[in-house]
Amino acid sequence: MLFGSEKGLFVAAPIRKSGKIIGVLTVIKPKKSLIPFIESARKKFWNLSLYVALSIIILFISILYFLFSPIRKLSEYISALRFQKRVPFPKISIPEIRGLGEEMDRLFRELAGKEYVENYVQSMTHEIKSPLSSLLASSELIIENPDRLESLVSNIQLEGRRIQTILEKLLELSSLENQSQLEKKLNLNLQDVVQETVASSISEAVRKKIRFRELTETVYVEGNFFFLGMALRNLVQNALDFSNPGSEITVRCGKENGFPFLEVEDSGPGIPSYALERIFEKFYSLPRPDTGRKSSGLGLAFVREIAKLHDADLEVKNRTSTGVIARICFKTIF
């Protein structure tokens, strides 16, 4: 039998002889000797309680993250679509949320596609109207003035090529705008892009008596060599169109603060202040200094789409003195 007092614990057992209790055996254990065991048990209890509480909190946070992470991803994706950023559809593990996201994505793209077509039809109609009017006028003048046949036919061919260029550029641009990301990325050297672009443009530069200067270093990025080559050729072509005979065009590639870049610099007349905010608009073009004619107005829009596919920005600004600097700035450090 166990008894207790303020000083200790007692265990007592009767001593029997011939069925009679003749005495009692008592064992006494002071309570002080039990204190370490009690404290140890109490400590283990609180440690276990804390561990269980932390486990419950972690489990609760994990469940919340599992439930809300897909919603957060979907929200970020919709926000990116709203600002017309090129982002792939996020990986969402919960089927119901993924299905909702796919339907919203489809709706966004249908609405964007409708607006895209409407804007393109309006812009293309406005842009092609001018060369078509010129074609009709030239054809009428041929009948009235047969002696001017050669110059009028030349004008018809020129305007016809302009319409063809506009349509080809539109097809290329629409193909790029329908891509949310590059399908195939390769590790490529920007130095090779510069060298190939300059080599393909050298004949026109010689004809216009313009010099090329290459300032390059070995810089690797992940991307599409063909697309980057087309982007740089467009920038070089702009520089050739606006440069004066005897001037120099500098084509660079390198790194600034660890970020790769491609750059074309010319010493032409520069961009008028009224045109600086419109140079990226589709079909907007400035007259060339030597001929007074305009291009398709799709070149910089085309370059910007290629830059977006490579997670890069296109910057075009006037130099401090004369000329323009066009730069493709990559946002990833390689």
Note whether 227 and 172 are same-domain residues.
no
Higher pLDDT, 189 or 175: 189
Q: Which domain holds residue 246?
A: 186-330
pTM, two decimals, is 0.56
Decide which of 42, 75, 108 is a domain's last residue.
75
Higher pLDDT, 112 or 304: 304
Helix (H) or strand (E) holding 28: strand 20-30
Higher pLDDT, 123 or 298: 298
pLDDT for position 252 = 94
Evaluate if residue 211 carries a pLDDT over 90: yes
Note whether 273 and 311 are same-domain residues.
yes
Distances (CA, A) of 7 to 2, 13, 26, 58: 14, 20, 15, 45
Token pair in block for residue 289 = 């200094």
pLDDT tens digits for range 288-316: 877 777 777 778 888 888 888 888 999 99
pLDDT band of 3, cuts 50, 70, 90: very low
Can you tell me the mean pLDDT for 215-224? 91
Note whether 174 and 197 are same-domain residues.
no
Note whether 195 and 227 are same-domain residues.
yes
Among 42-51, 69-78, 119-128, the range scoring the smallest mean pLDDT is: 119-128
Note whether 89 and 218 are same-domain residues.
no
Spatial separation of the C-alpha atoms in residues 140 and 156, rounded to whole Å: 11
Give residue 241's identity as a one-letter amino acid code: D
Indicate which CATH number applies to the domain containing 109: 1.10.287
pLDDT for position 1 = 47
The mean pLDDT value of the chain amounts to 78
Q: How many domains does the chain have?
A: 3
3-state secondary structure (DSSP) of residue 23: strand
pLDDT tens digits for range 79-106: 776 666 666 667 766 676 667 666 666 6
